[in-house]
Chains A and B, each alone.
Chain A
Amino acid sequence: MDEALLRSLTPAVLGILVRRGADFAAAEDAVQDALVEAVRVWPEDPPRDPLGWLVTVAWRRFLDATRAETARRRREDVVDAEPEQGLAPDTDDTLQLYFLCAHPSLTPSSAVALTLRAVGGLTTRQIAQAYLVPEATMAQRISRAKKTVGDVRFDQPGDVATVLRVLYLVFNEGYSGDVDLAAEAIRLTRQLAAVIDHPEVAGLLALMLLHHARRASRTTASGRLVPLAEQDRGRWDTTLIAEGVEVLQAALAQDRLGEFQAQAAIAALHADAPVAAETDWVQIVEWYDELLALTNSPVVRLNRAVAVGEADGPRAGLKALAELDDTLPRYAAVAAYLHERDGERRTAAKLYAEAAGKASNLAEREHLTRQAARLNN
């Protein structure tokens, strides 16, 4: 059974239940139950109409839960009423669900958890495993998130930017446990791009595809990081790159530039170089300038300094770096790289060791320690 296909029906089923009058929190629980039931039953007895099957089972679960929980009049009315709407999924439902799950009243971790469950159809256990927290903790996080958005009207227009931030967070978490969050983020972003024509949605999708294309070459079998310049480009996924470039070009043609499109453009220029030495760094610097104009982010300035170092030489890169705050994350790593390119191996080694001490993850720490060790030996 294709679990991703099953889960892709989640927003449609949930949307139908909500339009029939179920409140979001109860409907979401009912849909989860139906998904679990589908995983159990479908391999032996696949339905002819998967969506119809899920709606029927989820609606029955919702009614059972509502009846069991309370005999409140309002809910009884819902139960007694014949569903007015049919089974046709509404693309607006899907979009509204994304908005609701990334509502600005939610903290980032809550929005991520709720999106993965209500839009992505993942179980609480899967989400808990992916984020390495106890299942009970994740259940609480989701339940609180549902309460927080309980009073939000389902038909209000939402903010695309908050949705994109949530999907970006999921993608950047990568792969841990049983759930491939990067692949899930791509699936959810594709699904979003199918229901809304927005250049930044396309930009984020392109960015994800272009980075995902390099996944196999980004780490060694033992988990060591491989820097972009040293990656085996023969292992890059050309199908994903082609798709990413196509999606990006269509987005850029709309002439409404945003930060994800600019980031994707940089990733596309890397993907376009058959060998690292042929990278068009001059154009990459231009895109960093665009990105800087859009975000004014110090992290972008830092990455731009690297690009300047490649385009105009390490001295120019160091000059760009000198204008930045040296407490920025990865500042020491960038300084080390540029100093080594400038022939100052001892300074570089010291800076690599310093950068290793400040790394925020083990893979980076090991990589930076190895760089220092390489220069010291």
Chain B
Amino acid sequence: MAKYLLLKHYRGAPAPINDVPMDQWTQDEISAHVKYMNDFADRLRSTGEFVDGQALAQEGTWVRYDGEGRPPVTDGPFAETKDLIAGWMIIDTDSYERALELAAELSAAPGKGGKPIHEWLEIRPFYGHAPTITE
């Protein structure tokens, strides 16, 4: 029983096999893709493995503290930022193998020509609890 974050990137992931951007898909191809993603989340809900899923806007801003009484300093967005997160799904599975299996399923979402994108997803384990019994 452990939680994993599945990260989807706008930029920064290795190139997928079916590497055609969505703005070149047909309406039906886009619909099929969206449906696949929704069905996937629903299936995870029904198996009791879904925790959260969110998508992020493409543009973000850098922000930092600038000293007492001063407004926060902002900068960017930077077009050259290498790693750009598009969204995530958090799953709670019985094993790492199961988490990989689910990530692979998500990566098979259809793209151009209705064929799987084979998109690279990043999988990151959550920190769990410190176990009571260690010695």
Rounded to whole angstroms, the CA-CA distance of A108 and B48 in the bound complex is 13
**Cβ < 8 Å to A, chain B residues 3-55:** 3, 45-52
In the complex, residue of chain B having the shortest beta-carbon distance to the beta carbon of A175 = B129
Interface residues of A, dominant DSSP: helix
- A243 → chain B, closest Cβ, in Å? 17
Q: Are A174 and B131 in contact (CB under 8 A)?
A: yes
Rounded to whole angstroms, the CA-CA distance of A59 and B130 in the bound complex is 41
Q: Are A132 and B3 in contact (CB under 8 A)?
A: yes
Which of chain A's residues have a CB closer than 8 A to the CB of B49? 137, 141
Which of chain A's residues have a CB closer than 8 A to the CB of B135? 228, 266-267, 270, 303, 306
Given A107-B94, A172-B133, A263-B133: A134 touches B127 (CB 8 Å cut-off): no
Rounded to whole angstroms, the CA-CA distance of A202 and B9 in the bound complex is 51
Which of chain A's residues have a CB closer than 8 A to the CB of B132? 171-172, 174, 182, 211-212, 215
A130-154 interface bits toward B, Cβ cutoff 8 Å, 1 = contact, 0 = none: 0111101111111010000000000
A interface, size bucket? 35 or more
Number of residues on chain B facing chain A (CB within 8 A):
22
Which of chain A's residues have a CB closer than 8 A to the CB of B50? 133-134, 137
**Cβ < 8 Å to B, chain A residues 91-118:** 107-110, 112-113
Rounded to whole angstroms, the CA-CA distance of A176 and B132 in the bound complex is 12
- B99 → chain A, closest Cβ, in Å? 12
Q: Are B92 and A211 in contact (CB under 8 A)?
A: no
A365 at the interface (CB under 8 A from B): yes
Rounded to whole angstroms, the CA-CA distance of A107 and B128 in the bound complex is 19
A262 at the interface (CB under 8 A from B): no
**Cβ < 8 Å to B, chain A residues 169-184:** 169, 171-174, 176, 182
Rounded to whole angstroms, the CA-CA distance of A360 and B129 in the bound complex is 8
Rounded to whole angstroms, the CA-CA distance of A332 and B94 in the bound complex is 26
- A295 → chain B, closest Cβ, in Å? 14
A156-173 interface bits toward B, Cβ cutoff 8 Å, 1 = contact, 0 = none: 000000000000110111
Q: Are B127 and A109 in contact (CB under 8 A)?
A: no
- B6 → chain A, closest Cβ, in Å? 15
Given A108-B1, A131-B1, A270-B135: A140 touches B129 (CB 8 Å cut-off): no
B67-102 interface bits toward A, Cβ cutoff 8 Å, 1 = contact, 0 = none: 000000000000000000000000011100000000
Which of chain A's residues have a CB closer than 8 A to the CB of B93? 109
- A174 → chain B, closest Cβ, in Å? 5
A354 at the interface (CB under 8 A from B): no
- B60 → chain A, closest Cβ, in Å? 25
**Cβ < 8 Å to A, chain B residues 93-131:** 93-94, 125, 127-131
- A321 → chain B, closest Cβ, in Å? 15
Q: Are B133 and A109 in contact (CB under 8 A)?
A: no
Q: Are B48 and A141 in contact (CB under 8 A)?
A: yes
Rounded to whole angstroms, the CA-CA distance of A299 and B40 in the bound complex is 36
A364 at the interface (CB under 8 A from B): yes
Rounded to whole angstroms, the CA-CA distance of A212 and B132 in the bound complex is 8
Which of chain B's residues have a CB closer than 8 A to the CB of A142? 48
Contact of A109 among B52, B92, B128, B130 (CB under 8 A): B92
A293 at the interface (CB under 8 A from B): no
A207 at the interface (CB under 8 A from B): yes
A362 at the interface (CB under 8 A from B): yes
Which of chain A's residues have a CB closer than 8 A to the CB of B129? 172-174, 176, 361
Rounded to whole angstroms, the CA-CA distance of A166 and B114 in the bound complex is 43
Given A138-B48, A266-B135: A361 touches B92 (CB 8 Å cut-off): no
Q: Are B48 and A144 in contact (CB under 8 A)?
A: yes
A252 at the interface (CB under 8 A from B): no
Rounded to whole angstroms, the CA-CA distance of A112 and B2 in the bound complex is 13
- B12 → chain A, closest Cβ, in Å? 22
Rounded to whole angstroms, the CA-CA distance of A180 and B18 in the bound complex is 49
Q: Can you list 29 pairs linking A and B with CB atoms under 8 Å apart?
A: A109-B48, A109-B93, A113-B48, A131-B1, A131-B92, A132-B3, A132-B51, A133-B92, A134-B50, A137-B48, A137-B50, A138-B48, A140-B45, A140-B46, A142-B48, A144-B48, A169-B1, A171-B133, A172-B131, A172-B132, A174-B131, A182-B132, A212-B132, A225-B130, A266-B135, A303-B135, A306-B135, A361-B127, A361-B130
Extra contacts, 14 of them, besides A108-B94, A139-B48, A364-B130 (Cβ < 8 A), are: A131-B1, A131-B92, A133-B48, A133-B51, A134-B50, A137-B92, A144-B47, A173-B129, A174-B132, A270-B135, A360-B127, A360-B128, A361-B129, A361-B130
Which chain A residues have a beta carbon within 8 Å of chain B's beta carbons? 107-110, 112-113, 131-134, 136-142, 144, 168-169, 171-174, 176, 182, 207, 211-212, 215, 225, 228, 263, 266-267, 270, 303, 306, 359-365
